[in-house]
Amino acid sequence: MFGSGPYGMMAYGWQAMGGMMAIFWAVVLAAALMAIILVMRAMANGSHVAPQPHRRAGGLDRLDERLARGEIDREEYQRRKHALLAHRRRG
């Protein structure tokens, strides 16, 4: 049964077993490389960049700055803010 005949383990079994081991280690190596690449990509994409806060449109920012500097009063601020927001809704 396990002799060295043409169909025994000594003839073709060891070759098949060697081929399967080569395929197994190639799959293990490929999986390890993919895991390393994915970890490095995740680190490069997210760890060094701080999330940016959501910013409003430039017009409202400038209007806030003008109010803070005292260039316009509260009434003028409210009027211009209302106009900016109304324009944004239409556009």
For the stretch 54-64, pLDDT in tens is 655 578 888 99
Q: Which range of residues forms the domain containing residue 1?
A: 1-51
On whether both 47 and 62 belong to a single domain, the answer is no
On whether both 67 and 46 belong to a single domain, the answer is no
On whether both 39 and 64 belong to a single domain, the answer is no
Q: Would you call 34 exposed, middle or buried from its count of C-beta atoms within 10 A (0-12, 13-18, 19+)? A: exposed
Q: What global pTM score does this model have?
A: 0.40
Q: What's the pLDDT at 45? A: 75
Q: What's the pLDDT at 90? A: 78
On whether both 4 and 43 belong to a single domain, the answer is yes
For the stretch 23-62, pLDDT in tens is 999 999 999 999 999 999 888 876 555 556 665 557 888 8
On whether both 46 and 2 belong to a single domain, the answer is yes
Tokens for 56, please give them: 């409003």
On whether both 26 and 46 belong to a single domain, the answer is yes
On whether both 47 and 81 belong to a single domain, the answer is no
- Residues of the chain with pLDDT > 90: what percent? 41
Q: Structural domain tally of the chain? A: 2
